[in-house]
Amino acid sequence: MSKVSTNTVSFTLNGVKKTFETRPDEKLLALLRRNGYRGTKYGCGQGTCGACTVIMDGRAVYACLMYAMQAEGSKVRTIESSGTFENPGEFQKELVAAGAVQCGYCIPGIVMSATALMEAEKDVTDEIAREYMDGNLCRCTGYEKIWIALRRVLDRKPGEKKPAAAKRGKK
Protein backbone atom coordinates (compact mmCIF):
# COMPACT_ATOMS: atom_id res chain seq x y z
CA MET A 1 0.00 0.00 0.00
CA SER A 2 1.30 3.40 -0.88
CA LYS A 3 0.70 5.49 2.17
CA VAL A 4 1.06 9.04 0.99
CA SER A 5 3.02 10.80 3.64
CA THR A 6 5.28 12.77 1.34
CA ASN A 7 2.34 14.88 0.15
CA THR A 8 3.37 15.01 -3.45
CA VAL A 9 1.42 14.03 -6.53
CA SER A 10 2.82 13.04 -9.93
CA PHE A 11 0.92 13.16 -13.17
CA THR A 12 1.42 14.04 -16.81
CA LEU A 13 0.37 17.62 -17.35
CA ASN A 14 -0.10 18.72 -20.95
CA GLY A 15 2.25 15.97 -22.07
CA VAL A 16 5.00 16.55 -19.52
CA LYS A 17 5.48 14.33 -16.48
CA LYS A 18 5.50 16.47 -13.36
CA THR A 19 5.55 16.15 -9.60
CA PHE A 20 3.89 18.75 -7.41
CA GLU A 21 3.87 19.46 -3.70
CA THR A 22 0.36 19.28 -2.37
CA ARG A 23 -1.81 18.54 0.67
CA PRO A 24 -4.38 15.74 0.95
CA ASP A 25 -7.29 18.14 0.76
CA GLU A 26 -5.99 20.49 -1.91
CA LYS A 27 -8.25 20.61 -4.97
CA LEU A 28 -6.72 19.94 -8.36
CA LEU A 29 -7.90 23.38 -9.46
CA ALA A 30 -5.97 25.09 -6.66
CA LEU A 31 -2.85 23.11 -7.46
CA LEU A 32 -3.00 24.00 -11.15
CA ARG A 33 -3.57 27.70 -10.58
CA ARG A 34 -0.93 27.86 -7.85
CA ASN A 35 1.56 26.44 -10.35
CA GLY A 36 0.83 28.98 -13.05
CA TYR A 37 -1.85 27.18 -15.05
CA ARG A 38 -4.29 30.02 -14.69
CA GLY A 39 -6.26 29.39 -17.86
CA THR A 40 -8.35 27.00 -15.80
CA LYS A 41 -10.80 29.26 -14.01
CA TYR A 42 -12.31 29.22 -10.56
CA GLY A 43 -16.01 29.86 -11.04
CA CYS A 44 -18.52 28.43 -8.60
CA GLY A 45 -16.16 26.06 -6.80
CA GLN A 46 -18.95 23.51 -6.40
CA GLY A 47 -19.18 21.62 -9.65
CA THR A 48 -21.91 23.58 -11.38
CA CYS A 49 -20.48 26.15 -13.78
CA GLY A 50 -17.73 24.23 -15.63
CA ALA A 51 -15.17 27.07 -15.78
CA CYS A 52 -12.60 24.76 -14.15
CA THR A 53 -13.05 21.90 -16.64
CA VAL A 54 -9.86 19.98 -17.47
CA ILE A 55 -9.41 16.68 -19.27
CA MET A 56 -8.22 13.75 -17.21
CA ASP A 57 -7.44 10.53 -19.07
CA GLY A 58 -9.63 11.66 -21.96
CA ARG A 59 -12.61 12.67 -19.83
CA ALA A 60 -13.78 16.18 -19.01
CA VAL A 61 -13.83 16.67 -15.24
CA TYR A 62 -14.36 19.54 -12.80
CA ALA A 63 -10.97 20.41 -11.30
CA CYS A 64 -12.78 22.08 -8.38
CA LEU A 65 -14.43 18.79 -7.36
CA MET A 66 -11.30 16.72 -7.56
CA TYR A 67 -8.62 16.34 -4.95
CA ALA A 68 -5.19 16.81 -6.49
CA MET A 69 -4.20 13.41 -5.08
CA GLN A 70 -6.81 11.75 -7.30
CA ALA A 71 -4.77 12.77 -10.35
CA GLU A 72 -1.84 10.51 -9.39
CA GLY A 73 -0.53 8.70 -12.47
CA SER A 74 -3.12 10.20 -14.81
CA LYS A 75 -2.83 12.38 -17.90
CA VAL A 76 -4.22 15.84 -17.30
CA ARG A 77 -4.71 18.45 -19.96
CA THR A 78 -5.60 22.08 -19.37
CA ILE A 79 -6.64 24.90 -21.71
CA GLU A 80 -2.93 25.74 -22.06
CA SER A 81 -2.62 22.62 -24.23
CA SER A 82 -5.19 23.65 -26.79
CA GLY A 83 -3.72 26.78 -28.32
CA THR A 84 -2.01 30.08 -27.70
CA PHE A 85 -3.04 33.67 -28.20
CA GLU A 86 -0.98 33.82 -31.42
CA ASN A 87 -1.96 30.38 -32.57
CA PRO A 88 -5.43 29.45 -31.28
CA GLY A 89 -7.01 26.06 -31.79
CA GLU A 90 -9.63 25.47 -34.45
CA PHE A 91 -12.61 25.72 -32.08
CA GLN A 92 -11.10 28.77 -30.42
CA LYS A 93 -10.91 30.48 -33.84
CA GLU A 94 -14.52 29.61 -34.54
CA LEU A 95 -15.61 30.95 -31.16
CA VAL A 96 -14.00 34.29 -31.97
CA ALA A 97 -15.38 34.30 -35.51
CA ALA A 98 -18.90 33.62 -34.22
CA GLY A 99 -18.68 36.39 -31.63
CA ALA A 100 -19.19 33.80 -28.91
CA VAL A 101 -16.73 35.29 -26.46
CA GLN A 102 -17.91 38.23 -24.43
CA CYS A 103 -16.36 38.13 -20.98
CA GLY A 104 -14.68 34.84 -21.84
CA TYR A 105 -14.58 33.42 -18.33
CA CYS A 106 -16.45 30.24 -19.27
CA ILE A 107 -14.57 29.68 -22.52
CA PRO A 108 -11.56 27.66 -21.25
CA GLY A 109 -13.98 25.15 -19.74
CA ILE A 110 -16.15 25.14 -22.85
CA VAL A 111 -13.11 24.47 -25.02
CA MET A 112 -12.04 21.56 -22.81
CA SER A 113 -15.51 19.97 -22.86
CA ALA A 114 -15.66 20.39 -26.65
CA THR A 115 -12.19 18.86 -26.98
CA ALA A 116 -13.28 15.81 -24.98
CA LEU A 117 -16.35 15.57 -27.23
CA MET A 118 -14.41 15.80 -30.48
CA GLU A 119 -11.85 13.24 -29.37
CA ALA A 120 -14.37 10.71 -28.10
CA GLU A 121 -17.13 10.83 -30.71
CA LYS A 122 -17.49 10.92 -34.44
CA ASP A 123 -20.71 11.73 -36.33
CA VAL A 124 -21.76 13.97 -33.46
CA THR A 125 -25.52 14.50 -33.34
CA ASP A 126 -26.99 17.51 -31.52
CA GLU A 127 -28.11 15.16 -28.79
CA ILE A 128 -24.59 13.82 -28.18
CA ALA A 129 -23.09 17.32 -28.32
CA ARG A 130 -25.62 18.59 -25.77
CA GLU A 131 -24.77 15.68 -23.50
CA TYR A 132 -21.05 16.53 -23.55
CA MET A 133 -21.64 20.26 -23.12
CA ASP A 134 -24.31 20.17 -20.39
CA GLY A 135 -21.86 20.87 -17.59
CA ASN A 136 -20.72 24.31 -18.76
CA LEU A 137 -22.61 27.48 -18.05
CA CYS A 138 -22.23 30.80 -19.87
CA ARG A 139 -23.82 33.79 -18.19
CA CYS A 140 -23.21 36.61 -20.63
CA THR A 141 -22.91 35.76 -24.33
CA GLY A 142 -25.58 33.09 -24.32
CA TYR A 143 -25.29 29.66 -25.81
CA GLU A 144 -26.42 30.31 -29.38
CA LYS A 145 -23.11 31.63 -30.71
CA ILE A 146 -21.10 29.05 -28.78
CA TRP A 147 -23.34 26.40 -30.31
CA ILE A 148 -22.88 27.84 -33.83
CA ALA A 149 -19.09 27.79 -33.41
CA LEU A 150 -19.14 24.22 -32.11
CA ARG A 151 -21.42 22.99 -34.89
CA ARG A 152 -19.11 24.60 -37.48
CA VAL A 153 -16.14 22.65 -36.19
CA LEU A 154 -18.13 19.43 -35.85
CA ASP A 155 -19.66 19.69 -39.31
CA ARG A 156 -16.37 20.42 -41.06
CA LYS A 157 -15.31 17.46 -43.09
CA PRO A 158 -11.71 16.32 -42.83
CA GLY A 159 -9.53 18.27 -45.25
CA GLU A 160 -12.12 20.99 -45.72
CA LYS A 161 -10.74 24.50 -45.84
CA LYS A 162 -10.38 25.97 -42.39
CA PRO A 163 -11.56 29.50 -41.66
CA ALA A 164 -9.05 32.31 -41.97
CA ALA A 165 -7.68 33.34 -38.61
CA ALA A 166 -10.15 35.63 -36.96
CA LYS A 167 -9.30 39.28 -37.41
CA ARG A 168 -7.91 40.90 -34.37
CA GLY A 169 -7.93 44.66 -34.14
CA LYS A 170 -4.53 46.33 -34.17
CA LYS A 171 -3.44 47.71 -30.89
Partner 1 sequence: MKLSEFIRPATLKEARDVLRELGPKGMPLAGGTALHFMQGKTPVTAVDITRLGLSYIKQDGNYFVIGAATPLADIQRRRGERWAMHEICRRISTHQIRNVSTIGGNICRVFPWADLPVVLLAMGAVMTVYTGKKKEDEVPADEFFASQPARRFAGGDILTAVKIPVLKAHHGFGSVKVSRNAAAFSMVTIAALLELDGGTIKSARVAAGSAIPFPRRLRLVEAALAGKEPTAEVFRAAAAACTDVKWCGQEGMSAEYIRNLAEVSITDALERAAEFARGRTK
3-state class (DSSP) for residue 8: strand
Give the closest residue to 111 by CA, choosing from 121, 122, 128, 96: 96
Our CA angle for 38, 164, 147, nearest 5°, is: 60
Residues 65-94 that bind partner 1 (CB under 8 A): 65-67, 69-70, 72
DSSP letter at 162?
A: P
Among 38, 42, 47, 156, binds partner 1 (CB under 8 A): 47
Name the residue nearer to partner 1 (CB basis): 50 or 108.
50
Number of residues that bind partner 1 (CB under 8 A): 29
Is residue 12 near partner 1 by the rule CB under 8 A?
no
DSSP letter at 24?
A: T
Q: Rounded to the nearest whole angstrom, what is the least distance from the CB of residue 5 to partner 1 in the complex?
A: 8
Q: H or E stretch including 118? A: helix 107-120
Is residue 2 near partner 1 by the rule CB under 8 A?
yes
Instruction: Report the alpha-carbon distance of residue 87 to residue 137 in Å, rounded.
Output: 25
Is residue 60 near partner 1 by the rule CB under 8 A?
yes
> In the complex, which residues of this chain contact partner 1 (CB under 8 A)?
1-5, 24-25, 27, 46-48, 50, 53, 59-62, 65-67, 69-70, 72, 113, 131-135
